[in-house]
Amino acid sequence: QGQLAESGGGLAQAGGSLRLSCLASGSIFRRATMGWYRQAPGKERELVATSTSGGDTNYADFVKGRFTLSRDNARNAVSLQMNGLRPEDTAVYYCYGAFAGRTYWGQGTQVTVSS
């Protein structure tokens, strides 16, 4: 069993930066794929970035070069540094974990980018 707790997010201007953090409880997350998804109003939840336990990182095309996913397995933590924010990045961002066929989600944190 495990839980994911997000922090960070908030309001930023276009071109600005925000940092999201996620702390996982439960040792399984050291072996899990972890990362971030987001969901904008009226849209489906979409992948932002994920990292395997071995450190292989995958980014959605729309964040490449702007967002950086970092993982600290010793702390069971994953963070998302978001630079060059755009109004279309406005969404609820969810911490994500997947292990042994099971998916875990955080409660979500709102990111709003003004133009």
- The rounded distance, in Å, linking the Cα atoms of 31 and 78 is 13
26, HSE (Cβ side, Cα atoms, 13 Å): 16
Q: What is the mean pLDDT of the chain?
A: 94
Question: Stretch 33-42: mean pLDDT, rounded?
Answer: 96
Residue 65: Cβ-neighbour burial (10 angstroms; 0-12, 13-18, 19+): exposed
- The number of residues in the chain equals 115
Predicted confidence at residue 1, as pLDDT, reads 63
pLDDT digits (tens, 9 = 90+) for 39-95: 999 999 999 999 998 889 999 999 999 999 999 988 889 999 999 999 999 999 999
DSSP SS3 for 82: strand
